[in-house]
Structure 1
């Protein structure tokens, strides 16, 4: 039987690359996204639902539909997230801090909360959380994002311990800078905050990576598919960096 895969934040970027790669492997794919327009551009063969990953009501509806359509779930990719504000900690509004944690951390928690009973009942399953190398290092001017991504790793390790006895594995992927509009926006905001140019900020990020390169959404998707495969059957509780090896999370150039 083909894998049944749910990907939150699956309408664009890393999430869409995950969906496409799982589908190419023969999986049945269900994506959620807060943006209805990007969902409309995804294949009609995928199950789709628009909504906020940090909303308990939305996630209950998603899993009710999974129960009705598929009966259970084999793979959860808790991928939904937002960049949050770019500012020094003293300049960040509390509501912006809370919103960043809600989408990134609470979104992953809710998805795992509703996936766990399904997976425990079948005594199998895989949970992959999209964290970040910001969850392995500090990240100046990005306190809410770094806090959320560190917390996601703690959540993942706890899930691995709670669910392992039921044959369920949990891991996190820690991407570096991923090519695309999202990192372009982050770089532009950081350049503005530091009074410099996006080109200088980008060069600084690249200089802090051993391989002197950003990664692609496909690089991250490939790791997700591997972690969900039999080839990773005893890989659990791990953080896998897909970042070309970050030497310095805040390089100065």
Structure 2
């Protein structure tokens, strides 16, 4: 197989992306569609789901709160109806969670972050595995972790804790599911340009009494190339892991960042 073919996922792949109607999830959906994949997304924003499905005929969608078991079940009912099976699960849904010292964080905010960022990934994985076992070329599962899942992240402990947990989940499932020809990896984006990161910077700036620009500069000083990662760069890494070129890669946490050593 030629190198270019190795780097491109097989046309016709059936892909489910959680949190797939905006941000990184949307970039991943568009990237898969460009390779000829059939994509189903779920997202809590029903209007965004409808807009995406209208703009891209290869995409179907379900409005769902990934933290609700009944909604997860409904997503898989729709996946089986729309796609007739599953080859790739991209567990992307997540929230930023609260910013603050551990003694300041509301337990309800902690629990919500864990429900969305970790428990939902478990729920989708357990429902996806029976379908992925039937994937003709083997199944693929990708968990969207974070650079905060390999580094400490002060004042963002709920977020960081869940992202560390996703790496452990991915590595453990790779061992468990390898005999079923299912590859499982995690992707760890660095500081990603977009509205969510802008909100994080703004919250930290307010806490420290700094301007947004001053706080942004502090974040960029920690990055070797002094710029943020783009959503499209994250999507390209996910495509690689889902392509024949990634067929020998499982149980790994792939950092997509620019030499970030502290947050």
| Unaligned segments of structure 2, at least 5 residues | 1-10
CA contact (8 A) 1:210 1:247 kept: no
CA contact (8 A) 2:62 2:78 kept: no
CA RMSD of aligned residues (A): 1.1
Report matched runs for 1:111-190 at 5 Å: 111-122=124-135, 124-190=138-204
The Cα of 1:39 is off from its aligned counterpart by 1.4
Question: What is the match of residue 54 of structure 1?
Answer: 67
Question: What is the match of residue 230 of structure 1?
Answer: 244
Question: What is the match of residue 199 of structure 1?
Answer: 213
| Matched residue SS, 2:103 | helix
The Cα of 1:248 is off from its aligned counterpart by 2.3
TM-score (norm 1): 0.96
CA contact (8 A) 1:130 1:173 kept: yes
Question: What is the match of residue 2 of structure 1?
Answer: 12
- 1:205-253 Cα offsets, whole Å, 9 max, x none, are 111111211001000000001100011001000011111120222xxxx
| Matched residue SS, 1:152 | helix
TM-score (norm 2): 0.92
The Cα of 1:71 is off from its aligned counterpart by 2.3
Q: How many residues align structurally? A: 249
The answer to whether 1:107 aligns with 2:107 is no
- Distance in 2, Cα, partners of 1:131 & 1:41: 27
Question: What is the match of residue 23 of structure 1?
Answer: 33
- Distance in 2, Cα, partners of 1:232 & 1:107: 25
- Distance in 1, Cα, partners of 2:245 & 2:100: 42
CA contact (8 A) 2:191 2:228 kept: yes
- Distance in 1, Cα, partners of 2:82 & 2:213: 47
Counterpart selection for 2:109 from 96, 100, 118: 96
Counterpart selection for 1:219 from 215, 233, 240: 233
- Distance in 1, Cα, partners of 2:119 & 2:262: 28
- 1:40-75 Cα offsets, whole Å, 9 max, x none, are 221331111001112111111111222222221000
| Unaligned segments of structure 1, at least 5 residues | none
